[in-house]
Structure formats: C-alpha cells, structure tokens
Chain A
Amino acid sequence: MPLWLFFFLGTLAVLAALGVILQSNPVHCLLALAVNLLDVGVIFIGLGAVTIGLLQIIIYVGAILVLFLFVIWLLNLQAEGFSGYLGLKFFGAIGAAALAAELAAIFWRAAPISRLVTAPAGQGSIYSLGRALFSDYLVAFEVTSILLLATVVGAIGLARRIPSSAGQFERTGAGVPKPGET
C-alpha cells in the first residue's frame, strides 16, 4: 500500500473514531463508526485481505450497524451532553491517552518491516480463506454456527413482549415479575 494512501486512510479512520466518542447525538456517532469501519475495510483490501475487507463492509457496516440504528430509533434516543462523574472521566481519558502513547511508542520502535514476506498468489481470495476454514478451522466454524443459533434464540427471548394473563401489563422476556405475579 503506498504511503500516502496509508496516511490518508489512517487519518480518516482516526478522525472518524474521534467522531464516534465525541459527538452528542447517538445517530451521528453511529455514522462516524460506519465511516471508520468502511475505512478499515478498505485498509484490509489494501493489505491483500480482499474477502475479509468485503465481508467487513457487508456484515459489519451493512448488518450490525443497521441493527444499531434500528435500536437507536426504536428507543428514540436524543442528543445529550456529557454528564456524570466528570472528574473521573477526565482522568480516565488521560489514562487512555497514556495507553495510546505507549502502544504507539512500542510499535513505532519495532524494526520497520519494509520487505513483506511474499504471499502466495491469491491469498486473501475466497478460495484460500475457504480452504483454511474448512480444513484447519473446521471445528471453530461449526462451533460458530452453534453460537449464532444460541444468539438468535437469546436475542428473541430477551426482547420479546409477553402479554400477561390479565392483559393489562406487558412484560419483556427479561422482565422480573413483581411479588405475587407469575
């Protein structure tokens, strides 16, 4: 990946990430997160992982963030400023900035790796990814499908409404019954 392209994409990713954490309207935060994930997807494609980059754009931006957006709209969240324990949050931000500086310093001083190992032609294509998934990582693949089944069952069980027998009060799947109720 050319250096100018990396700096452009990297600056865009950092600006979008700052936009996620600093904006007050949750929908604006979500749109900034979409820019960040798209940007990192493009970086994946630039690094040769074409299938993973496109999957990130399809699954992460196209499904997960849309789910986030539906939930924000369902709950009708409004813009809000910073509230709560502001002193603690300030010191937390200082600590996390120290973490960023430490990580950057460690990775900056690592030996610069200009000559990459020559990757086999077609690595990053869906053929090579599929061949690795279905041979070396088959057990993890099957367990992931069971995980998704458990996710579907859990999410429906948590978020559904249960009409009570009296019909007056609706409870959610995760609601705690009051004493005397079933």
Chain B
Amino acid sequence: MTPINYFMVLSGILFAIGVVGVLIRSNIIVMFMSIELMINAVNLAFIALGRRIGSIDGQVIVFFAITVAAAEAAVGLGIIISLFRNRATVNADELKLLHW
C-alpha cells in the first residue's frame, strides 16, 4: 500500500512539468495542452487527499473540475480557431498586437 504523500509528489512533478510546458513552448495549442496537464495534476491531488480522509468531496470537486476543463477547452479552441483565421499563426511570439 503506497503512502498518500507519494501521490502528492507525483502530482507536484506533473504540475511542474505543465508549468515548464507553458513557459518553453510557443505553439499556443501545446501551451493549452500543458494547462490541461496542470489541471490533471491538481485532480490527482484532490482524489488522493479525498481518499486519505475517506471523503467523497475530493471526487465531487474533480467531477466539476473535469467539466469546467471541458468547457474551457471548447471556448479556448474556438478562440484559437478564430485567431488563426485572422492572423494565420498559432505562434505566441508572433501574436503581439498588444505588445508595446
């Protein structure tokens, strides 16, 4: 039986990999995938801690987090499609109209 803090370490490592992905990639769809990695890591932490204290609340929160992530992915990809139709690029370094 694995201790629960092993799951928390795994969640922390996955979260940090997601942060690295957002920082080093310039393709905004891959940045979006890294955000999904971060959400996934936090879901793992919720489930692990919910199992630790024997509560169903961790799973309910993850249920809502998956739903909100689905909604965010749909709207975010709609924005990316619209952006691509107007700018013809998905490189974050080239999308700098608001840059000084």
What residues make up the interface of A, taking CB atoms closer than 8 Å to B? 1-3, 6, 10, 13-14, 17-18, 20-21, 26, 29-30, 33, 36-37, 40, 43-44, 47-49, 51-52, 55-56, 59-60, 63-64, 67-68, 71-72, 74-75, 77, 80, 82-85, 89, 92-93, 95-97, 99-100, 103-104, 106-108, 110-114, 116-120, 123-124, 128-129, 132-133, 136-137, 140, 144, 147-148, 150-152, 154-156, 158-159, 172-176
Contacts and interface: CB of A to CB of B under 8 A. Distances in A.
B42 to A, nearest CB: 11
B54 A68 contact: no
Contacts of A72: 29
Contacts of B21: 20-21
Contacts of B1: 1-3, 114, 116
A116 B16 CA distance: 27
A152 B51 CA distance: 34
Contacts of A128: 56
B93 to A, nearest CB: 4
Interface residues of B, number: 74
Contacts of A99: 15-16, 19
A101 to B, nearest CB: 8
By secondary structure, the B interface counts as helix
Nearest to A55: B66
A89 B33 contact: no
Nearest to A103: B12
Contact of B70 (A64, A85, A117): A64
B20 A158 contact: no
Given A52-B63, A103-B12, A117-B53, A112 B73 contact: no
